[in-house]
Amino acid sequence: MNSLNNNPKRVAVIGASGYGGIQIIKLLKDHPFFEISFLGGSKTASRNWNELCPFIPLDNDPVIEKVDPIKISDNCDFVILSLPNGLSSQLTPQLLENNLRIVDLSADYRYRSLDQWKKVYSSESKDIRRNDYNLCKKAIYGIPEFNAAYISKADIVASPGCFPTSALLPLYPFLKQGLVETDGIIIDSKSGTSGGGRNPKEHLLLAEASESISSYKVVGHRHTSEIEQELSAISGIEIELQFTPHLVPMVRGILSTTYARLRDPGLTAEDCKTVLETFYRLNKTVDILPVGIYPHTKWVRFTNRALISVQVDQRNGRLIILSAIDNLIKGQAGQAIQSLNLMAGIDECIGLPLDTFYP
């Protein structure tokens, strides 16, 4: 926290030792308007933060504590939940009862229908009993570029998944204006290994992931329905799309290529670039590249920016949109802080990196 601010907002980070939590801590550490007042964890409880993560030391070297909603409510104004799917819903109702405002990085409140969550996250729903239907309806989907006004007043913000962020930012303006057909949309995404989380997994081992690109969950990836929900809401039509993720041998970053058919095949790439520039003209976190220049994931590493480029295949009237984000920043922790800034009534970009370190 910047010492010039004498009245910082106090933030609890629950799930502090995962990749998402570590990025959150890094961004909050030097934030001029927030201070970290509680670190919560399960497996890491009773350990000092600086022992666990000496590469991001905190001045007071706090102890990671078991989650205690009463203690959190006594010492915090906001809570960021960076927990496995299903666990956030076990804490959120009590935290809200104690007048805390929440940004949740899990999928627990991204769906407006709890029944839909139970269907998509069926394995979690077998072990975790939920009846918080009203909270699912109350939560605001946390893409600030679309929902800033609602996020600023929200008690609970459901921060989107990294893949949905990379897909929704380029597609949303075209569907909102009815410029593309609602059927036949295809999203092809490439992600680094950090998207799989910090817990050990065989397919993320160096010997498995290095020097190889592989697809996974070619049909039925969980993020498919999340993307469909948001695009259906803006277009007013139930949308079914094709989403295929791929694992690439890099640590961080997502590159998504989206294909959609233009309703007016006479539109050019320059026309479509103007659509995006107009929609995002007031946003510092989305940059539209010149036609013919396509984003690289390295260009957005360690930043809360999205780079978008567009092309049109005049032979078939197909729109091709490319977007690049850092999955751990704009796709996760940075976007959560962006929402937190809005909830605190300050500029959404304060404390967020917008320029990469290159190369």
Element (H, E) at 118: helix 114-120
Tell me, yes or no, if 349 is annotated catalytic: no
Question: Six-digit token pair at 286?
Answer: 């989305």
Annotated catalytic residue within 136, 162, 272, 349: 162
- Alpha carbons within 13 angstroms on the beta-carbon side of residue 243 total 21
Compute the distance between CA of residue 159 and CA of residue 162 in angstroms, rounded to an integer. Answer: 9
Question: Six-digit token pair at 343?
Answer: 């909830």
As a residue count, the chain comes to 359
140-141: strand order across its sheet: 34-40, 9-14, 78-81, 101-104, 156-158, 140-141
DSSP state of 161: P
Compute the distance between CA of residue 191 and CA of residue 249 in angstroms, rounded to an integer. Answer: 9
Distances (CA, A) of 334 to 23, 136, 159, 165: 8, 23, 10, 12
Give backbone dihedrals phi and psi of 342, rounded to 5 degrees, phi first: -65, -40
One-letter amino acid for residue 344 of the chain: A
Tell me if 165 sits within 8 A of 105, measured CB to CB. Answer: no
- Burial pattern 130-166, b for ≥16 Cβ within 10 A else e, equals bebeebbeebbbbbbbbbbeebbebbbbbbbbbbbbb
Three-state DSSP at 112 gives coil
| R_g of the chain computed on alpha carbons | 20
Please name which of 235, 223, 222, 119 lies closest in space to residue 183, comparing C-alpha atoms: 235
One-letter amino acid for residue 121 of the chain: Y
Catalytic residues: 162
